[in-house]
Amino acid sequence: MFIKSLTIASENEIIREIIFRKGINLIVDETINLEDTSTGNNVGKTTVLKLVDFCFGAEGKIVYTDQENPKITYPLVKEFLENNKILITLILVENLDDANANQIIIERNFLSRKNATRRINEQNIQGKEFESELTKLLFPEHQAEKPSLRQLISHNIRFRDESINNTLKTLNAYTSDAEYETLYLFLFGCNFNQGNEKQEILTKLRQEHTFQKRLEKNQTKNAYETMLSFIEEDIQKLNKRKVDLNLNENFEQDLDNLNLVKYQINRLTSEINKLKIRRDLIKESEQELAASISNIDVNELFQIYIQTTMLVDNIQKTFDDLLKYHNQMLNEKIKFISKELPQLEKEINNKGEQLKQLLKKEKELANLIAKSDTFEDLEKLISNLNEKYRQKGEYENIIQQLNEVEKNVKNYYEQLNIIDETLFSDEFEKTVKSQTFKFNKHFSEISGQLYGEQYAVKYDIIIDKSGQKLYKFSTFNLNFSSGKKQGEISAFDIAYISFADEESIPCLHFLLNDKKELMHDNQLSKIAEIVNHRNIQFVASILKDKLPTELNQEDFFVLELSQNDKLFRIENQQT
C-alpha cells in the first residue's frame, strides 16, 4: 500500500490536501535558519507524519502535545482541531499508477465518545475493532494479536525518538525482547504462529513472578511454612490448656467467703488474745496476793501492834486475831479474783475451737481458689487462640498462593518448552538463518550504495533474565567502520520493502521520516535516487535550506510550509 493523499478538512472547507507520489516526497519548511523545530512552534512538518500515524490508530493527543514532554499541551492547536471538528482523511492505494487499484479510505476526527469519527471505507468502526479491521485489510494473512498493527508499521513511520535513533528497536522503551522476537520473526517471514501465544505466556510468567515477589516481600515460602508449624504447635498447647481449664463457676462467691472467713479469723483471734490477756492479768494478781500472804514479816507486824496498843487504849483484838484477819482478807481477794478464771478458760477454749474450724475452712477455700481458673482466664485463652488461628489462616493462604504460583510457573514453563521445541529446533533455526541471509543481501546492497559499507542483521539465541531462550536481532557493520545511524535506518527500511516484495510478504510501501536534515547531503541524494527507481514511497520532512541542490526542486516537494503558511492555517482562521 502507498499513500495517495492526506486531507485536512473542517465542516466547511478543505484546509489541506496533500497528494503523494512514488519515489521521494519532501515536506519542507521554507523558513530560513529556523532554530526552534519543536511541534507547536514550527510550521507542522512533523505533524504531517503524526496525522498519518493518527489515521493508523495513534492517539489524537500526539498532534497537540509536546513530543518530549507529553504533559505540555498546545491549547491553540487542540481547540482548533476540536472546535472546528477537523476531519483527517488518509487514502491508501495498492498501485499509484493504476486509477482502478484497490483503495483504503481512513477517516478520523479528534472528538471523543459519540462524537468521534472512525471510518474505514465509509464504515463506522469504533474501539479496538478499528485497528483489527485495518490489520485485516493490510495484512490479511495475519490472524494473531501479536505483532500488533502498531508494531508492524513502527519502522514505516519514524518521528518518535525511539524510531529515529534505532534501526530495530522502534517501539517504546518498555517493549520486551520477546515482543521484538515475535515482530522480526514475522517481518522476516519466519512462519511462527505461536509468537502471540508465547508472548502471552511470558506476560503471565512475569505477572506470576511479580506476584511471588510481593507474597515473599517479608518472608520466603520456607519461612512461612516454618512459622506455620510453630503456630500449629502453639494452638495445640492452648487447646490442651483449654481442656484442662478448671473453671470454677462459684469463684466470686468462694472468694467472698474466703474474705469473710479471714475477717472472722482476725476478729476471733483478737477476742482470744483479749481473753488471754485478761486471764493472764488475773493469774498475775492471784500470784501477787498469794505472795503477800507468804512473804509477810510477822515480827515487824507484831512490833507495829505493840506500838499501837501503847498509843490506843482498849484495843480488844489480839495480835493473832489481827494476823488471822489479814490473811483471811487476802484469801478472800484471791478467791474473788480467781472466780472468773474457769469461765475465761472455757471461753478461750471455745473460741480456740472456733478458730481451728475457721482456719481449716480458710485453707480449704484458699486451695479451691488457687486451683480455680476464672472466665477472665478463659477469655484470655480464647483471645490467644483466635489470634493464632488468624495467623495460621494468613500463613496458610500465603503458602497456598505461593503453591499456586509455583504450579502456574511450572505449567507456563512446560508450555514454553513445547513452543521452544519448535522455535529452537534445527529446522526452524535454519529458516531464520535463511531468511535473514536473504534480507541481508538487500540490506548490504542498499548500505553499499549509500556509504560503501555493508550493513547486516544478525540474530543470537540468548537467555534473558527470566531464563527464557529468545531470538535477538541486531544490526552490525560488516566492514567494521563507523556507520551512520540515519543512513543505516533508511537502508534497513528500503531493504525491507525490497525483501518483502521478493518474499511476497505483505508490507506498506511508504516510509515516513522526520529530521532527515541530520543526514549528509550525499546520502539524502542517494536515497532519493534509490527510491525513485524502486517501488517505494519515501516521505521526509526537512528544512528547505538543508536540502542538497539536486533535491531542492519543486518536483520533489509535496508540501511547502512556512511561518506565514503553517499546516493547519490557524493564523488564517483567526484573521
Query: Which SS3 state, helix, strand or coil, does residue 512 take?
Result: strand
**Residue 41: predicted pLDDT:** 47
Which pLDDT band holds residue 383 (cuts at 50, 70, 90)?
confident
Residue 235 has pLDDT above 60, yes or no: yes
CA distance linking residue 261 with residue 264, whole number of Å = 5
550: which DSSP letter?
A: G
Range list of H helices, 17-84: 45-55, 61-64, 75-83
**Residue 567: predicted pLDDT:** 92
Residue 481 has pLDDT above 90, yes or no: no
Q: Comparing C-alpha atoms, which of 339, 337, 356 is closest to residue 348?
A: 356
Show the 3-state SS of 156-210: CEECCHHHHHCCCCCCCCCCCHHHHHHHHHHHCCCCCCCHHHHHHHHHHHHHHHH
CA distance linking residue 277 with residue 292, whole number of Å = 23
| DSSP strand pairing (537-543 vs 510-513) | parallel
Provide CB contacts within 8 A for 372, sequence distance 6+: 246, 247, 248, 251, 254
C-alpha cell at 438: 536473504
**506: cis peptide before it, omega within 30°?**
no
If you compute the radius of gyration of the chain from its CA atoms, what whole number of angstroms results?
56
373: which DSSP letter?
A: B
Provide CB contacts within 8 A for 550, sequence distance 6+: 525, 528
Task: Evaluate whether 523 touches 451 at the Cβ level (below 8 Å).
Answer: yes
The domain locations on the chain are 1-153+508-575, 251-372
Range list of H helices, 371-506: 375-423, 426-451, 485-503
Task: Evaluate whether 26 touches 542 at the Cβ level (below 8 Å).
Answer: yes
CA distance linking residue 361 with residue 366, whole number of Å = 8
Q: What are phi and psi of 382, to 5 degrees?
A: -65, -40
Residue 34 has pLDDT above 50, yes or no: no
Q: Comparing C-alpha atoms, which of 39, 146, 182, 154 is closest to residue 489?
A: 154
Residue 152 has pLDDT above 80, yes or no: yes
| Cβ atoms < 10 Å from Cβ of 63 | 25
Task: Evaluate whether 454 touches 447 at the Cβ level (below 8 Å).
Answer: yes
Query: Which SS3 state, helix, strand or coil, does residue 327 take?
Result: helix
Q: What are phi and psi of 304, to 5 degrees?
A: -60, -40
**Residue 50: predicted pLDDT:** 96
CA distance linking residue 44 with residue 18, whole number of Å = 13
The model carries a pTM of 0.70
DSSP 3-state percent helix, strand, coil across the chain (nearest 5): 60, 15, 30
Provide CB contacts within 8 A for 476, sequence distance 6+: 455, 456, 458
**Residue 404: predicted pLDDT:** 92
Quick: pLDDT tens for 407-444.
Answer: 998 998 888 888 888 889 999 999 999 999 999 999 99
**Residue 38: predicted pLDDT:** 41
**Residue 77: predicted pLDDT:** 93
Higher-confidence residue: 394 or 375?
394
CA distance linking residue 18 with residue 35, whole number of Å = 25
CA distance linking residue 17 with residue 19, whole number of Å = 6
CA distances 98 to 4, 134, 500, Å, are 11, 22, 21
Quick: pLDDT tens for 51-109.
Answer: 999 999 999 999 999 877 878 889 999 999 999 999 999 999 999 999 899 999 999 99
Which pLDDT band holds residue 18 (cuts at 50, 70, 90)?
very high
Higher-confidence residue: 254 or 203?
203
Which pLDDT band holds residue 548 (cuts at 50, 70, 90)?
confident
**Residue 37: predicted pLDDT:** 44
C-alpha cell at 480: 567494521
Residue 36 has pLDDT above 60, yes or no: no
Q: What are phi and psi of 104, to 5 degrees?
A: -125, 120
Architecture label for domain 1-153+508-575: 3-Layer(aba) Sandwich (3.40)
| Cβ atoms < 10 Å from Cβ of 221 | 17
Q: Comparing C-alpha atoms, which of 575, 573, 570, 572 is closest to residue 76?
A: 570
| Cβ atoms < 10 Å from Cβ of 56 | 21
